[in-house]
Structure formats: structure tokens, C-alpha cells
Amino acid sequence: MNDPILQIQGLQTSFFTDDEEIPAVDHIDFHINEGEILGIVGESGCGKSVTSLSIMGLIPKPPGKIVGGKILYNGEDLCQASEKRMREIRGNDIAMIFQEPMTSLNPVFTIGNQLIEAIKIHNKNWSKKQAYNRAVEILKLVGLPRAEELMNEYPHQLSGGMRQRVMIAMAMVCNPKVLIADEPTTALDVTIQAQILGLMKKLNRDFNTAIMLITHDLGVVAEVCQRVIVMYSGKIVEEGDVRTIFKNPKHPYTAGLIKSIPDMRYKQERLYSIPGNVPKPGSIKQGCRFAARCEKAFEKCRIETPELYEVETGHKVRCFLHEQEV
């Protein structure tokens, strides 16, 4: 087993209004091993993207702030790092693919300009020719044809799938050790989705890059991830290897997510959906945050907050139904 390259310990990230503190990520612990693909799943509003932005040091201040915990990259606590140090780490050691490439790429600069700038920020001694050659090389690596021509084109001239490949190229151009991908296949058709996921697996395999894949699509997780974390309302509710989670989900929320995946083998009159919505962050003051939507909830669930129980090696669940299994 490889050693953890990234460890999150007791992370708390909140957003502040004039009246209150709203916890978006609430005391979460997890790790990513070198060369591993870790999936983080959950509905919108569960804290997945806030977790990734916290790791990158990109939480908007104000109103957001990391109020507790540690983010350890190779033993270095990034919560204590200066902004100068974070600029060195971003892109060079830890890179991120954002959800919507059209809002992440600058519309007034060519693809080549943006790639060369990213390269020269972290390789100040490189000439423009060296940076240009590296940019063309990385565009070819991510499977983009006519790479030299693309260097002179603008984001609006590219299709959605091509823009997403450019974003992956920008993230990988300095060979980062950790790649965070926030919904990288959203709004792409299934053929392009498959190509992007195949590309990420290839990068992981060829460069031993650890990937943290944030998604709401459990099908994507089953396709590429080794381990998975399920988040709900700012907390981790289940964690384990992908095979175990899919075969034997312990938390009712995880079971509901899996049950809601359409199964082409059976004709269904109506697709399953979990009743209700994710609660507003900070709105539930006591009890399990999933209790109001849970078919198996009982009185204790509404009064006390369950711990994250390890029910078997590497498989953890935050649910009173499994309290006796520990």
C-alpha cells in the first residue's frame, strides 16, 4: 500500500454572515494515497466542492474561512502555509480541474498563451520556446489533434469536450502529484465523458498521479475509482473501497444513491429517488442530518449525532444502525 500523499484531519470550513456562522464542511477526515483515485460523491450542497477549494486554498475570504483542522500535503500543513507558498504548490504539486471550463479559461487569450503562462509561473528559467514545446506536448498527451493550431485558437472556438481536455492539459502541465477533478464530465455527452474518464485513468497509470474525483455520478465512481467517500450535509457518512460500497452499502443515504441509478436490465415504471432535499448548512442542530429523509430512522437518530463507526477494515459508516457492529 502506498503512503498517503494528502491527509485531511478534522477540516472545518465555514461561511459567515452578519448574524451567524454556517458550517459547509464539518470535521471531516480522509486521506489519498499516492497513485490512487479517490471518489467523493453526494448531492449538490453536501460540501464536496468546498472541500476541494479548501485544499487548494481558494475559499473566498470573506465570507469563507477554514476555522479548524489540518490539510497535510507530504506532512506540510497547508492551513498554515503563506499565500506565496500556496501559489508555489497550486499547479505544481496539487492541481485542479474545475467544473465548467468556459468560466475557467480566459476568453480573451489564446490556448497557447494560457498554457505557456501556467508553465512559466512554475519554471521561471525556461525560455518561451521550451514552454511552447511543453504546451504542444501536453495537448498531444491529452489526445487533442492539431495541437500546434490549437495553440493559436481561443476557448470559444473549441467544443465542450476539447475545452475540458485543455483544462486537464493545464492541470497536468507541471506533472502535479495530486489532481483534484470537480465534476469533470458534467454537461458532456456520454461518448466524450468516456474519453475524459479514460484519459484520467491513463494519466493516473502513466504518471502515478493521485486523483480526487468529485462527482454526483456513482456510475463514474464505479468506472474509475478505487475508494469512495460519501458526503452528506458537510459530513462523511460512509467510506470504503468501491467494490464493498457498491456490494454492501451500510448507510441508508448511500443505499438510496445506488438504488437511484437506472438499471437497464429491468423495466421500471418509475425511477427511485430519495425523498426530500439536502438541508441548508447549519440548519440541523441535533441528531443525524439524514434522519428527516431516512426510511430507517428511529428516535435516537433525531436526538443524537452518530459517530463514524469502522464496521470492518477500511469500511466506515456514520449510522446508529451499525453501532453494535463495532
32-76 pLDDT, tens digit per residue, is 999 999 999 999 889 999 999 999 999 988 899 999 999 999 999
DSSP designation for 217: -
pLDDT band at 91 (very low <50, low <70, confident <90, very high): confident
Secondary structure (3-state) at 264: coil
167 touches 195 (CB < 8 A): no
pLDDT band at 196 (very low <50, low <70, confident <90, very high): confident
With CA atoms as reference, report the closest residue to 282 among 19, 13, 24, 47: 24
Does any domain span residue 142? no
Does any domain span residue 165? no
Per-residue model confidence (pLDDT) at position 33: 95
Does any domain span residue 131? no
22 vs 268 pLDDT, higher one: 22
Q: What is the mean pLDDT of the chain?
A: 90
pLDDT digit string, tens, across residues 244-276: 999 999 999 999 999 888 777 777 778 888 999
Residue 296 has pLDDT above 60, yes or no: yes
Distance in angstroms (rounded) separating the CA atoms of residues 149 and 145: 9
pLDDT digit string, tens, across residues 207-225: 999 999 999 888 889 889 9
For residue 220, what are the domain limits?
Answer: 4-93+176-325
The grid coordinates of residue 185 equal: 464530465
pLDDT band at 322 (very low <50, low <70, confident <90, very high): confident
Q: Averaged over 122-138, what is the pLDDT?
A: 91
Per-residue b/e over 37-51, b at no fewer than 16 CB within 10 Å?
bbbbbbeebbbbbbb
Does any domain span residue 21? yes
- Sign of the torsion formed by the C-alpha atoms of 116, 120, 123 and 129: positive
Does any domain span residue 151? no
Does any domain span residue 163? no
Amino acid at 267: K
Does any domain span residue 147? no
Q: Please count the residues of the chain.
A: 326
Domain total in the chain: 1
Per-residue model confidence (pLDDT) at position 233: 94
The grid coordinates of residue 146 equal: 492539431
The CATH number of residue 186's host domain is 3.40.50.300
Distance in angstroms (rounded) separating the CA atoms of residues 100 and 42: 18
Distance in angstroms (rounded) separating the CA atoms of residues 211 and 208: 9
**What is the distance between the terminal CA atoms of the chain, rounded to a whole angstrom?**
24
CA dist list (Å): 46 to 29, 110, 181, 232:
15, 35, 16, 5
Does any domain span residue 282? yes
245 touches 238 (CB < 8 A): yes
Q: Averaged over 92-100, what is the pLDDT?
A: 87
Q: Averaged over 189-195, what is the pLDDT?
A: 83
Sole residue written with cell 500500500: 1
